[in-house]
């Protein structure tokens, strides 16, 4: 396995972007059939272990490549393996 060189002299940054729309209901309530996946916790996972926690091979490929095109609109989330 080859190492990924991160910018910033080894400083690790997690950048999470999401969109939220108020459509009703109660905070924390999950509606059956909605495109949602509740966040129950956060942990660091080796890239080689991502598939085992629910990510696709496509997402792993993009992560290994340093997320080419990051910051640009990628279309539907399945385009990035989600």
Instruction: Please check the confidence at residue 27 and state whether its pLDDT lies above 60.
Output: yes
Higher pLDDT: 27 or 54? It is 54
Select from 48, 71, 70, 74 the least CA-distant residue to 61.
48
pLDDT tens digits, 29-69: 767 766 666 666 677 788 899 898 888 899 899 989 988 88
Q: pLDDT at position 57, please?
A: 92
**Per-residue pLDDT band at 23 (split at 50, 70, 90):** confident
Q: pLDDT at position 77, please?
A: 74
DSSP states of 1-62 as a string?
-PPPPPTTTT-------------SS-TT---TTSS-----------GGGTGGGT--HHHHHH
Predicted TM-score of the model (pTM): 0.49
């Amino acid at each position: 396995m080859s190492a990924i060189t991160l910018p910033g002299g080894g400083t690790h940054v997690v950048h999470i972007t999401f969109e939220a729309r108020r459509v009703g209901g109660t905070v924390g309530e999950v509606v059956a059939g909605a495109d949602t996946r509740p966040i129950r916790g956060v942990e660091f996972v080796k890239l080689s272990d991502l598939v085992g926690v629910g990510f696709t091979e496509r997402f792993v490929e993009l992560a290994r490549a340093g997320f080419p095109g990051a910051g640009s609109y990628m279309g539907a989330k399945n385009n990035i393996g989600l």
